[in-house]
Structure formats: structure tokens, C-alpha cells
Amino acid sequence: MLTRLKQKVQQALTVEAKAAHRIGLTPSRISGIGIILAFLSAIAYWAYGTWQTQKLYILLATVLLLLSGFCDALDGVLARLYQETTAFGGFLDSLLDRYADAAVYAGIIVGGLCNPFWGLTALVGSLLVSYARARAEAGGIKTESVGLAERAERIIILAAASIAAVFWQPTTAMNVGIILIAILSNLTVFQRGLYVYGRLKKKSGN
């Protein structure tokens, strides 16, 4: 859904990509930094949910989550700008994104910041959105921008819920965000399934 906006954001990141290149950062290194930030975000969510001390943990988790998303956008810009795009690089980036997603949702679930059922539903839906795209592309069908909740949308929803949690009742705010992600991500899987079915049916001429 936000793919077109993401493309514009990536174009705007050229200056940052050039700066990263000057200091010796490669797409793979930026992807590595992104996954580390995602794991730190997960730990921060877990820390608040476990000890229920200061909401600063949630704010920290949000900042780390957004920085991880920034790295996810920057590594692609850097790879294209300096012709460092490779098949394995794309595979590694996608794989690390799935680990990042799983870690963040696990941190929220284990920390008790959301209902476990909805947390697991959001986690499964998020992973299946990417799996549906991978399977579709293996069959020669592009599904990027198909569906309501791609990774960018899910990060925005989770960040918004986390910010609300800082000023509101944390578990209530996080539950709202997680339930929304659970519904929209699984709806996206359904949308992609219908899209692929339609394209394959059209190809077969039936």
C-alpha cells in the first residue's frame, strides 16, 4: 500500500546513502545494523512488559524500531546507487527482515504487552505476507504494493501504538495496534492470494 511512498522516500535517501558509502558501510552491513536494532527493540519491549518500570523502555523500543526500518530502506538505496545489488543480497535482506519482525513481536508477546493470541496471529500474518510474495514471485507474479499491510504499514502501526502506549495505558494501546496488524496482515495474505489466483487464471486462459 505504501510502496509508492516508499519509493519516494528511497529517492530522498540518496544523500544518506552516499554518506554511508563514504564511511565504508555496505548494504550487508547496514542490514546487519538493522537486525541488531530490531533485536534491541524487542528487548526493550520485553523489559517494560516484564518489569513494568518506566515507559521510557517503550519509547526506546519505538525509536529502535524506526531506526531498524530506516536501515531497511537505506540498504536498498545504497545497493542500487552503487550497483551492489545481488540475488544473495536481496535474499539476505528479506531473511533478516523476517527475523526482525519475529523478534519484535516475540518481545511484545513475551513481555505481556499484548494478548498472546492476537500477538501470535499478527506474527503469523506478518510472516505469511512475505511468504505469499516470495511464492508469487517464484511463479513470475509481482505482488509488491498488493495488500493493505506490507512491512512499512506494519511498522508505522506498531510505532503509532507504541507512542500511544507512552501516554496511555500501555497494554491497551499495544493490544489495539497488535489486533489491527493481525487483521490487516492476514487480510493482505488473502488479497495476495486472490490476486495471484486471478493472474494465473488469466495466464491459463480459463
Task: Pick the catalytic residue from 75, 93, 97, 101.
Answer: 97
Within 64-193, strands assigned E span none
181 burial type by CB count under 10 A (0-12 exposed, 13-18 middle, 19+ buried): buried
Task: From residue 91, give the alpha-carbon distance in Å to each of 3, 75, 85.
Answer: 19, 13, 11
CA 56 – CA 80 distance, rounded (Å): 37
CA 112 – CA 170 distance, rounded (Å):
10
Q: Judge whether 93 counts as a catalytic residue.
A: no
* Distance of alpha carbon 46 from alpha carbon 111, whole angstroms: 4
Calculate the alpha carbon distances from 36 to 22, 100, 156, 162 in Å.
22, 8, 19, 19
Give the catalytic positions in this structure. 97
